[in-house]
Amino acid sequence: MTGWNDLPTELKEIVVQMVDDEELVRDGLARGASEEFQALLALSAMDRELHALVSLILWQFFAAEIAPLKGRFARRLTLYQPHSFAWDVPTLVGLYSQLLSTLSSLDSLSLQCRTSVAIGLLPLLPSSLSRTVQHLQFKSWSHEEFIHSKTAAAVIYAFPNLVEAELFDIRQGEGQGASLAVDALRSLPQLKRLSLGDGNGFSSPTSLAFPWKSSLVSLNLGEVDYTHLGVSFLRHFVDRHSNTLQELLLPFYPDDASFPTFFLPHLHTLTLYVNDDSALLPLSFSASPLRILTIKLIGEEGDVENMVHKLTEAVAEHRVTLDAVSVEAFAHEVAGDSDQEALDDLQALCEKEQICYDFDLVGP
């Protein structure tokens, strides 16, 4: 017997059109309890292809019927890139711009769509969003697509009142385009919290060393490849915000030999990825009044003991100010008695100094 999965796409399109043949749902004239709307909901649950076809109509219903009535209450919104042939760029830009025009109090926006959709939306954004949006997340919709620095800069400039920005998968390009995203970030007068993900779009030490209009209190670089984030880049970046930085998360640096000493008088929360050759990195922050220290140990079987001994030395250095130490071991296993003894010594030191201690074996 032929099932829904066996029907060609063209026939499924006809079925969907017949359910809403008068386009009442599509035009926002049908209520959510109407037979047409409920039939489309049921149809969308039959298979992925029908779900994609119906979603286009339901999005139009939401934008036309629900958003104008409830949009003013929305505070957060994520715009995804649907994985469907039914959602071409002009259609998606039109629907998203219609939706955004109703969200007068939005303060958090996440863009996880094609860069062509994001760029298409920029000239259509209501002026109110440039004032209300304080948190922006911008990341690629696919592992195969990166965002050019020029595109990231255009999106950042569209929201001049940002307090927090999360930017992922940014590529710097060549020539003058390399510093565009950095220049946009430096122009934000209220930016306080910044997270950067993988991509080399911000590894421009020269532009990072220029004056910023804001001073960061939180900097998250944990998902950045250290090859895109050299020590010179890091020094320029962190020194620029040394008087205000309170929270810092660094990427994995495999060697602490050339790592600088930082003078961050207000830094109280530090997270580091380390291996056996970089386990003493916390000592680079000995001038900071650390209260919360999180260490992510990266090693093979048998490496845990050496790393924990070095970490114990660092904890002893910060024992006067520390409130909590968290250790996550990204290792195959805690191999034997020597590893466990090293961990016991660290725990004993924390208990002696009344420091909260937590250990978690994450695995490979």
Q: Among residues 293, 247, 301, 291, which one has the least CA distance to residue 272?
A: 293
The separation between the first and the last C-alpha atoms of the chain, rounded to the nearest angstrom, is: 47
Residues of the chain with CATH 3.50.30: 253-364
The predicted structure's pLDDT at residue 219: 95
- With beta carbons less than 8 A apart as the criterion, state whether 49 and 8 touch: no
With left for phi above 0 and alpha for psi between -120 and 50, is residue 169 left, alpha or beta? Answer: left
Could you tell me the fold of the domain covering 253-364? Glucose Oxidase; domain 1 (3.50.30)
Higher local confidence (pLDDT), 173 or 147: 147
The predicted structure's pLDDT at residue 294: 95
Rounded Cα distance between 250 and 274, Å, is 10
> Residue 14 pLDDT > 60, yes or no?
yes
> Residue 264 pLDDT > 80, yes or no?
yes
Rounded Cα distance between 308 and 303, Å, is 9
Widest Cα–Cα separation across the chain: 75
The predicted structure's pLDDT at residue 84: 58
Q: Has this prediction a pTM greater than 0.85?
A: no
State the average pLDDT over residues 323-352.
82
- With beta carbons less than 8 A apart as the criterion, state whether 245 and 221 touch: no
Could you tell me the fold of the domain covering 74-237? 3.80.10
